[in-house]
Amino acid sequence: MNGSVVSYSLRELIARFGGEVVGDPEVRVSRVATLENAGPETIAFLANPRYLRHLATTKAAAVILSPTERDLAQTARIVHEQPYLYFARVSTLLASPRTPVPGIHTTATVHSEAHVDSSAEIGPYVVIGRGARVGQGSVIGPGATLGENARVGRDCHLHAHVAIYAECLLGDRVIAHAGVVIGADGFGIAFDGDRWVKVPQVGRVRIADDVEIGANTTIDRGAIDDTVIEDGVKLDNQIQIAHNVHIGAHTAIAACTGIAGSVRIGRHCRIGGAVGIAGHVTIADHVEVSGHTSITKSIDKPGVYSGVYPFEPNRDWRRNAVQLRHLAEIAKRVAALEDGLAQIRRSQS
């Protein structure tokens, strides 16, 4: 977030990340920018054709383009098959990541039987319970809490007010944004005919390496066995993951999605925002689900799945939606019409 003073020439960038320079390879860049709001020493990219119109007028020193747009720009450029991925790498190179400041803040409360690596940074008002562990180079933000025996691996970053309940395990390089809750009780209740009886939730949450978890996302502990998030899973904000869900490696899930108990999602899936997945459903690897879709049964083949009510002006929607309640009847009437027509045809032949 601080302006970096380090700069790179395009020649240096392609030496690191590949691609081809068109134009002056000695152009230097020190910051990223959008095409629209670029200035001197910035590098921008074009990945979405919707922003093509900004290419002609951009003030960026350099742009990253796919071969298709190679000749649509005048500025110096790097041509690469995957401009957004390329940009991600350049942006990471130019960013000045926050370095942990080793030590435990004087206001933090760390149990005498907790194990905090000396290179870790423990912020103000952090609570670390008995038997909990924090690994090398991890940063625990203000007010975050680790329950008994919770474990955070190396180079993790828990932002403000993250709550890790007892016994839950995080791997290395896990990022959890502010307000994340890991290991709260799953919604396990049994009805006795009159009232609900709570089922103790004795499983844990196990999160593997390189997982990122968005702000205010919640991941419940398992009822008996564990809730599991595999390597490289990326979770956006305000996602709800219920007890005993299992999410396969490198799956990405957009914001506001809710995943009910015991769902099993495969590897390399892409789940849109505000999706709902019903309990006990299994989803194969490489499945993509459109935003706002409700997945009510298992999906065993890769592919893109959708189920979204198309919006329209309210008046039209009212007129059309009312017929949804007659759809079965309409289908019957169409079948009856087909019979009727066939009959007439027979009678005419």
Catalytic residues: 243
| Residue among 158, 56, 35 at smallest CA distance from 108 | 158
Question: Among residues 26 and 333, whose Cβ is nearest to a second copy?
Answer: 333
Q: Is 171 left (phi over 0), alpha (psi -120 to 50) or beta?
A: beta
Between CA 27 and CA 189 the distance in angstroms is 63
Closest by CA to 262, choosing from 225, 207, 287, is: 225
Shortest distance in whole angstroms from residue 271 CB to a second copy: 12
Among 90, 154, 70, residue whose Cα is nearest residue 117: 154
Would you say 26 or 96 has its CB closer to a second copy?
Answer: 96
Give the nearer residue to a second copy in terms of CB position, either 71 or 329.
329
Backbone angles phi and psi of 104, in degrees to 5: -105, 125
**Closest distance to a second copy from the beta carbon of 176 (Å):** 10
Between 135 and 214, CB nearer to a second copy: 214
Which residues are CB-neighbours of 235 under 8 A, at least 6 positions away? 211, 212, 213, 214, 217, 229, 241, 252, 253
CB of 25 to a second copy, least distance (A): 23
**Residue 152 Cβ vs a second copy, minimum distance, rounded to whole Å:** 15
Q: Residue 258 and residue 262: Cα distance in Å, rounded?
A: 12
